[in-house]
A and B are shown apart, each in its own frame.
Chain A
Amino acid sequence: MPPPTTPPDLTTLKSLRNQIIGSPSSKLLLLRSQPQLLPSLLPLLSPSASATPALRLEAAHVLGSLCRSGDCLSYILSAGTCEVLLSALSSSLPIDADPDASPPPTAPPALLRALAKSLSSLVDLMCTALHGTQFGIGPPSYRGRARSALALETLLTLPALDSFLPLLSPSPATAAAGTSIASLISHLRTQEETAPVLAWLPERERVSAAKGKRGWEKKEEGGWVVGRLCTMLKGGEEKAQIASLHALSTLLFTTPTLTPTFGRFHAPVAQRIFDLSRARSPAVRVAACFALTALLCHRPARPSSLTLGLGALGSLGGMGSLGGIGGMGKGQAGGDGETPPPSGLLLNVLATLQGVVEDEREEGELRAEGCWCLSLLVMDDRPRAVHASHTGLLRTLCTLLRSFPSIDPLSPSSLDDLWEEPLPLLHLREACMTALASLTLPDAGLRSQLAEQKPSVLPIIHASLSHPAPGVRHAACQVVRALSRSVAILRSSLVDEGVAVSVLGLVVREGRVKEEDGLEGFGIEGEGDGDDLAEGDGDELMRGEGEEEDGREEGEKEPRKVKGDRRVLLAALAALCNFSADFSPVQHLLPEQDALPVLVRFATSPSDALLRMNGIWVLKNLVYRADWNLKKGVMDLMGWARFVELCRDEDLRVREQALSMVRNLAASRDADVAQTVRAMGAGEIVALVEEAMATENDDVMMNALFVVVNTLPELYKSSPPPILHQSPAFLKALLACLSSPAQPLRVAAIRVVHALLQSSLGKQNLREAGIERRVREMEGLRWKSGLTGAGRKSMGGLGEADGGEVESSLEVREIVRKVTAYFEDA
């Protein structure tokens, strides 16, 4: 087809539409071969003398189809499509109309729907480019991020919101478009993105709000958009229900303060969502469960406020006697405390989702959605995880895992089958294992139950580490990471199964791609943000161990090679952390299998902070209690100068791990301490500590304080000796740490005080800095008994350590006692 020089006519547009629908490659080819297409197409979207409604509709259809392909995103955004769509929608709405009064739009409903759908699809692409896919790791997408961020910023400005949010109005003429706008809202991910939507008001209401109110008018809680989404739920249209349920769950997940309004103003809507979780359509049931999960996850923490704030939810049909969503109280933190009884709402969501996941006749994508929702529900919440297991979730997920086609990493035909697995099956594999990881991570008992399943699922999880799909490998790493948190499981089941070797192999293979070749995965910092309309697709391949390119017989099929993926690499490194710890019987594998150079390369990666953090975490664990030869081997590879740079890394997570590694290097033996101090330099260590204390980050400060504890006697042997104990900034930070609500930080701080006094350093300085007084406060229970609850809080949270933590720890009490003795010693 020749490139159009004039605006395309209706026949051309229809032909284009039929050419690209269903074919992402045709879409990309079209935009590449016809750079003038979008500039000539976009003006047709807005009303003009030459653009008939039919022409506008067809142009919107063509654009809508293009907006479904992530490969086209850069082309679409660089043509200014977002702005044109907003303008086209704006000009289709009546001027100065009140959306609540069901105004007649100036454009036909089909055109409005097509424009709104295009905008929604475009926002989906932009949010995916910015944040990755909503569930699962998805295909790597790091192209178009910068342009997407800019376009999204524009989209969330008031004038832009004015052009599409009114379509949520209850008018029948805009109903279909409203569904697309609800979908658009569901694509947003962060509170920064949803806040402008929540705060938006129709122009007329903005004017009256600006004039001021008398105070007695009925106020719609949650905002206008939430109100309209709730209204959409009341209708019987399934697609509208699904879209508004997903939009509501997005708003609830990103804005926890919205939850209480569903116990008050929107209580009938909460009941409606509950009813929809029992709807005939499984897609509606799952969407309702997402919204209910958001309510469950963001219920207010205090039981007293729950009774008040979510009382109405507590009386929902079928769950009133069980306390509604307010059933969760203590024990939530994941301790070993007694698990409170489950709420009726929780049991309802669990039963609904398990029903969908177990139903083999259901579509794979929907079952996967059910798994993702379950994963969100139990993530980082021990009581909910335990309840879910009691209702059979662990069994359900293990049964599902066993139902997947088997994986034999050593069989070429099996691998061929895996390459050709349908996407829904891949998504279901990934979702199922991620849900298993979320379920077992918070509770050791659940981890044991998973490890002891009969027939065992460990071989399936192990084999999944070799699956060609990155999402499946990633999810398998997550399960291994969760299981390896239990020392007993790590030392028995995982080692027996040979998982450690596979994880290590995965780390080495995934990381074999040179950084400049471009690791797959999004979020790589630095060069190549990917907004260029580059032709190459960067599909460098990762060659597996033993795979030789040469020597293949002529005509023999070239084996498909698994691509490296940064996200899998990060997950594998996280799993490897536990295998590299001193309690791991396979710790020796790391140096034996030549993994150290690779790990050091990750730890010093200049462009990827997450890779640096995970790499150094593994090495930190490896050198803990290791002999000096191993420590020296690691440091020779890394270089002390580069290591010091890591201790100053601008990313505080990296800095925390690097300082923790200093602790581990300067531990175990006096000689190790001396070697470390000599290699780094006493002055450098002191400077690092002072810089760390200035960050005011609890984890960084705690590790820095332990560096002082470990190195202190040696530190002051240098010439000239450092004057850390005289540094007012350090002493001030130390005092603050002694009053910190974080127990580990208080422990670190008191040990520093002890170490200083033990070395006869700075007693006077500590006194003058108020540290002696603070230590005496910590000494006994008399302070606590003399304070009310409010008084304890003013002590920086120490009061919350009642009955445990610092004061109840014999070791700490002993240190406090010794410190006091040192102060009293003349």
Chain B
Amino acid sequence: MDYLVIEGYKEAAENFSRESGLQPPVELDTIEERTLIRNAICRGDIDEAINRTNELNPEVLDSNPRLFFHLQQQRLIEYIRAGDIEGAITFAQTHLAPRGTENPEFLRELERTMTLLAFDNPPEDIAPLLGMGQRQKTANELNAAILASQNQGKEAKLAGLMRMLTWGEAMLDERCEYPHVDLTTGLLGGEVAKAEDAAPEG
């Protein structure tokens, strides 16, 4: 359930909840909201993402100046991507400059983003700002903040368990031989072999 909620599989979470009788840790409608917010950022509609986030919980952006700055930075990037230089400059002056005054730590990042305006083909160090990876990064940051506001972890516990399992196996590998867990099937190494042996040859 934790994995389905955090990763945003609303329908699967609903079905799992119904069939297993488990109570979901959050209202499942918020999963859909989170997905919509993430999608809005991924398609570059930052206004929509901000409005939806404020609708969901007005404290998320008000209590997280860094996240809010990154969303505004993403808006500036979208202006630049669309070639709206005048709009970009106006937006930076009215919305981003005050953030720099309030938190000088943002100034360098703001300057770096504004540098995009100077190049048709931005240099390597700032080019990634225009990439899809930047949108994904912003979306992930906002997603994590929303999850935290709902008392949810930033990532599914399952991922942590998998990492711990891999680490544990690596540690054991140095000391002894034992049947490994095959992560693709969820079976132990020996069981995989047995299953393969038992399979009828075609």
User: Is A25 a contact partner of B54 (Cβ separation < 8 A)?
Assistant: no
User: Is A423 a contact partner of B103 (Cβ separation < 8 A)?
Assistant: yes
B:79-116 near A, CB below 8 Å: 95, 98-99, 101-105, 107-108
| Stretch in B4-12, B60-68, B173-181 touching the partner | B60-68
User: Is B101 a contact partner of A117 (Cβ separation < 8 A)?
Assistant: no
Nearest chain B residue, comparing its CB with the CB of A237:
B151
Given contacts A23-B98, A25-B98, A238-B151, contact A420 B58 (CB under 8 A): no
From residue B29, how far is it (CB to closest CB) to chain A in Å?
13
Nearest chain A residue, comparing its CB with the CB of B151:
A238
Given contacts A238-B151, A239-B151, contact A21 B54 (CB under 8 A): yes
Q: Please, what's the 1-or-0 string for A407-434, where 1 marks a CB less than 8 Å from any CB in chain B?
A: 0000000000001111100000000000
The interface residues of chain B lying within 8 Å CB-to-CB of A422 are: 66, 103, 105
Q: Please, what's the 1-or-0 string for A221-246, where 1 marks a CB less than 8 Å from any CB in chain B?
A: 00000000000000001110000000
From residue A67, how far is it (CB to closest CB) to chain B in Å?
10
Contact of A65 (CB < 8 Å), options: B58, B64, B99: B58
Q: Please, what's the 1-or-0 string for A22-42, where 1 marks a CB less than 8 Å from any CB in chain B?
A: 111110000000000000000
User: Is B101 a contact partner of A25 (Cβ separation < 8 A)?
Assistant: yes
From residue A644, how far is it (CB to closest CB) to chain B in Å?
48
Flag whether A18 is at the interface (Cβ < 8 A).
Answer: yes
The interface residues of chain B lying within 8 Å CB-to-CB of A746 are: none
Given contacts A18-B50, A22-B68, A238-B151, contact A68 B62 (CB under 8 A): yes
Flag whether A17 is at the interface (Cβ < 8 A).
Answer: yes
User: Is A24 a contact partner of B105 (Cβ separation < 8 A)?
Assistant: no
Nearest chain B residue, comparing its CB with the CB of A422:
B105
Contact of A420 (CB < 8 Å), options: B64, B98, B107: B107
User: Is B61 a contact partner of A420 (Cβ separation < 8 A)?
Assistant: no
Flag whether B191 is at the interface (Cβ < 8 A).
Answer: no
Given contacts A22-B68, A25-B98, contact A421 B105 (CB under 8 A): yes
Flag whether A61 is at the interface (Cβ < 8 A).
Answer: yes
Flag whether B59 is at the interface (Cβ < 8 A).
Answer: yes
Flag whether A64 is at the interface (Cβ < 8 A).
Answer: yes
User: Is A22 a contact partner of B151 (Cβ separation < 8 A)?
Assistant: no
Flag whether B17 is at the interface (Cβ < 8 A).
Answer: no
User: Is B104 a contact partner of A420 (Cβ separation < 8 A)?
Assistant: yes
From residue A202, how far is it (CB to closest CB) to chain B in Å?
29
The interface residues of chain B lying within 8 Å CB-to-CB of A22 are: 61-62, 64-65, 68
What's the interface size class on B, roughly?
A: 20 to 34
The interface residues of chain B lying within 8 Å CB-to-CB of A26 are: 98
Q: Say what secondary structure dominates the interface of chain A.
A: helix
Q: How far, in angstroms, from A26 to B101 measured CA to CA in the complex?
A: 13
Flag whether B51 is at the interface (Cβ < 8 A).
Answer: yes
From residue B185, how far is it (CB to closest CB) to chain A in Å?
30
User: Is B62 a contact partner of A21 (Cβ separation < 8 A)?
Assistant: yes
Q: Please, what's the 1-or-0 string for A49-77, where 1 marks a CB less than 8 Å from any CB in chain B?
A: 00000000000010011001000000000
From residue A286, how far is it (CB to closest CB) to chain B in Å?
16
The interface residues of chain B lying within 8 Å CB-to-CB of A25 are: 98, 101-102
The interface residues of chain A lying within 8 Å CB-to-CB of B50 are: 18, 21
Nearest chain B residue, comparing its CB with the CB of A69:
B62
Given contacts A420-B107, A421-B105, contact A64 B98 (CB under 8 A): no
The interface residues of chain A lying within 8 Å CB-to-CB of B54 are: 17-18, 21, 61
User: Is A21 a contact partner of B105 (Cβ separation < 8 A)?
Assistant: no
The interface residues of chain A lying within 8 Å CB-to-CB of B58 are: 17, 21, 61, 64-65
Nearest chain A residue, comparing its CB with the CB of B95:
A23
The interface residues of chain B lying within 8 Å CB-to-CB of A423 are: 103, 105
Q: How far, in angstroms, from A423 to B55 measured CA to CA in the complex?
A: 28
The interface residues of chain A lying within 8 Å CB-to-CB of B104 are: 419-421
The interface residues of chain B lying within 8 Å CB-to-CB of A23 are: 68, 95, 98-99
The interface residues of chain B lying within 8 Å CB-to-CB of A64 are: 58-59
User: Is B105 a contact partner of A420 (Cβ separation < 8 A)?
Assistant: yes
From residue B201, how far is it (CB to closest CB) to chain A in Å?
49
From residue B189, how far is it (CB to closest CB) to chain A in Å?
31
Q: How far, in angstroms, from A64 to B54 measured CA to CA in the complex?
A: 12
Q: How far, in angstroms, from A25 to B102 measured CA to CA in the complex?
A: 8
From residue B76, how far is it (CB to closest CB) to chain A in Å?
15
Q: How far, in angstroms, from A18 to B107 measured CA to CA in the complex?
A: 23
User: Is B62 a contact partner of A65 (Cβ separation < 8 A)?
Assistant: yes
Q: Please, what's the 1-or-0 string for B133-173, where 1 marks a CB less than 8 Å from any CB in chain A?
A: 00000000000000000010000000000000000000000
Q: How far, in angstroms, from A64 to B63 measured CA to CA in the complex?
A: 11
Nearest chain A residue, comparing its CB with the CB of B97:
A25
Q: How far, in angstroms, from A22 to B60 measured CA to CA in the complex?
A: 9
The interface residues of chain A lying within 8 Å CB-to-CB of B105 are: 420-423
Q: How far, in angstroms, from A24 to B63 measured CA to CA in the complex?
A: 11
Q: How far, in angstroms, from A137 to B181 measured CA to CA in the complex?
A: 54
Nearest chain A residue, comparing its CB with the CB of B107:
A420
The interface residues of chain A lying within 8 Å CB-to-CB of B68 are: 21-23
User: Is B51 a contact partner of A18 (Cβ separation < 8 A)?
Assistant: yes
Q: How far, in angstroms, from A65 to B95 measured CA to CA in the complex?
A: 17
Nearest chain B residue, comparing its CB with the CB of A421:
B105
The interface residues of chain B lying within 8 Å CB-to-CB of A68 are: 62-63
From residue A180, how far is it (CB to closest CB) to chain B in Å?
10
The interface residues of chain B lying within 8 Å CB-to-CB of A237 are: 151
From residue A362, how far is it (CB to closest CB) to chain B in Å?
13
Q: How far, in angstroms, from A68 to B151 measured CA to CA in the complex?
A: 21
From residue B172, how far is it (CB to closest CB) to chain A in Å?
25
Nearest chain B residue, comparing its CB with the CB of A68:
B62
The interface residues of chain B lying within 8 Å CB-to-CB of A18 are: 50-51, 54
Q: How far, in angstroms, from A18 to B51 measured CA to CA in the complex?
A: 6
Q: How far, in angstroms, from A17 to B104 measured CA to CA in the complex?
A: 25
User: Is B102 a contact partner of A117 (Cβ separation < 8 A)?
Assistant: no
Q: Among the interface residues B64, B105, B108, which one has the most CB atoms of the partner chain A within 10 A?
A: B105
For the complex of A and B, 7 pairs with smallest distance between CB atoms: A22-B68, A422-B105, A25-B98, A22-B61, A61-B58, A420-B104, A238-B151
Interface, chain A (partner B; CB < 8 A): 14, 17-18, 21-26, 61, 64-65, 68, 117, 237-239, 419-423
Known contacts A21-B68, A423-B105, then 9 further A-B pairs from the complex at CB < 8 Å, ordered by chain A residue: A21-B54, A21-B61, A22-B64, A23-B98, A25-B98, A61-B54, A61-B58, A238-B151, A423-B103
A and B contact pairs by CB, cutoff 8 A, 19 listed: A14-B51, A14-B55, A17-B58, A21-B50, A22-B65, A23-B68, A23-B95, A23-B98, A25-B101, A26-B98, A61-B58, A64-B58, A237-B151, A419-B104, A421-B104, A422-B66, A422-B103, A423-B103, A423-B105
